Each structure stands twice: as C-alpha cells, then as structure tokens.
Structure 1
Amino acid sequence: MKSLLLLLPAVLAVVGCSPVRGQLSDWQGARLDELMGQAGPPSSVSADMAGNKYYHWLEDRGGVYTYNGPVNLKCERIFGVDEREVITSFAWDGNCLALPDSPWQRISQSRQGTE
C-alpha cells in the first residue's frame, strides 16, 4: 500500500499532462490566422536574415508551489510561417503546460463545424 501511495503522484503527473510537442505540432500546415483566431494575437513578431517570420506568444502564469518549492511558470511558444502565412515550424522555451482545453490545442476543421 505504501508503494502504491508513492507511485500515485507519478501516474497522475503523466496522465494529467499532454506533451507540448504533440500539441504544437498539430499546428504545422495550418494557417496563421487560424492559430491567431484561437490563441489570440502574438506578443511579438521577429524575422531572421533570410526574411522568415516568427510569431511569439509569451505566457507568464506566475509562481506556483510544488513539492520542490516555488516554480515560476513561464513559457514562450514560437511559430515560423512561410510567405503564404502557413505554419512551417514551431519551438518553445520554458516550462509550458499542454492542457487539453487550452487555446494551444488545435480544434480540427471538421470538429469546428459540429460545435
């Protein structure tokens, strides 16, 4: 029983978290306006020397307390787009959360028409 109680938090952490990579990769091939319609406007836009545009969304959820002490939840999500404004790449930095009901969870076009 004691070992079950020690294992329970680890199981809940795995079940309760969706991988950020999977959530963001669902946006590859989507149009930028679809992402902005769901997640809101970006915090900033940048470009590299080749002229590729990158849209940045910054999120700061503030401090939360964990078993290991306080943690500041900060995340930056970055999406690269081509000249047609189609998402071609993604990256993230920080301790992003991938919650199933967040604006970062892409709603498929087929589901949008039925909701």
Structure 2
Amino acid sequence: MKYSLIILASLTVLGGCSPVGTQMRAWKGAPLNELINRVGAPSSVSADRGGYRLYHWYEDRGAVYTYGGMVNLSCDRTIGVDDDDFIISVDWRGNCIAPVDSPWARTNDTQSIGVSQ
C-alpha cells in the first residue's frame, strides 16, 4: 500500500511534464471538430463560470498490476472551447496514459489548423 501511494503521488507531481501534458497542449488552438473526429464524442458537456463550454472525456481502464501493487487507471480530460469552437484550455485528472499511437496524439499534418500556441 505504501508503494502504491508513492507511485500515485509521483504520477501527480510529474503530470505537468508528462507525455499526456504534451499531447493535451498540442490541441490548444485547434478546432473542436478536429478533436472529436480523432478521439470520438465526449462523455459530457458543461459550462464554466465565464460561459465557455467544457467538453469532458472520461475513461476507466480498470486495474493493472505494478511493482507497488494494483493501480486503477482512469483519466478525465477536459477541453475548453471559445464561441468559435476553438480549443482554448486543456486539463486532465487521474493517471492518464499517453501511448504514441493514442488518438489524443495530435499529428503534425493537422497542427497547421487553428491559432498558434
């Protein structure tokens, strides 16, 4: 149990510089429909206090075994868009994974669309 807590704490601290962060930040400035075409429909949609729409994708990959014991892999990605449906904010919670072939990995040929980061 002690090692599981250490692993989860480490994942939380490293989240800002993780491959997931790199994948998510690559979507800033992109049109929302490009993301939806790539990853599928969101799990839910809400609004923030400023009136911007927030799109949520939740995934639960279940339990996996690690050196420290069993860990439940789940991820909640949140994308904020402006009135023109361009992505203006990205956030994620949980222990998301970022394989190279992930649909969340934005390819270079689509990054020319939208505004600069």
TM-score relative to the length of structure 1: 0.78
Q: Is 1:77 aligned to residue 96 of structure 2?
A: no
TM-score relative to the length of structure 2: 0.76
* Secondary structure of the structure 2 residue equivalent to 1:85: coil
Q: Distance in 2 between matches of 1:110 and 1:89?
A: 18
Q: Residue 10 of structure 1 corresponds to which residue in structure 2?
A: none
Which has the higher Rg, Structure 1 or Structure 2? 1
Counterparts of 1:34-113 in structure 2, within 5 Å, are: 34-109=34-109
Q: Residue 33 of structure 1 corresponds to which residue in structure 2?
A: 33
Deviation, 1:110, is 5.7
Deviation, 1:19, is 1.4
Deviation, 1:108, is 2.9
* Secondary structure of the structure 2 residue equivalent to 1:83: coil
Identity among equivalent pairs (%):
54
What are the superposed Cα offsets for residues 49-87 of structure 1, whole Å, 9 maximum, x if unpaired? 221110000010000000100000000000000000000
Letter in 2 for 1:103: P
Deviation, 1:40, is 0.1
* Secondary structure of the structure 2 residue equivalent to 1:57: strand
* Secondary structure of the structure 1 residue equivalent to 2:38: helix
Q: Which structure 1 residue ranges, 5 or more long, are not aligned?
A: 1-17
Q: Distance in 2 between matches of 1:103 and 1:64?
A: 21
What are the superposed Cα offsets for residues 4-31 of structure 1, whole Å, 9 maximum, x if unpaired? xxxxxxxxxxxxxx61111100000100
Q: Distance in 2 between matches of 1:27 and 1:49?
A: 22
Root-mean-square deviation (CA), in Å? 1.4
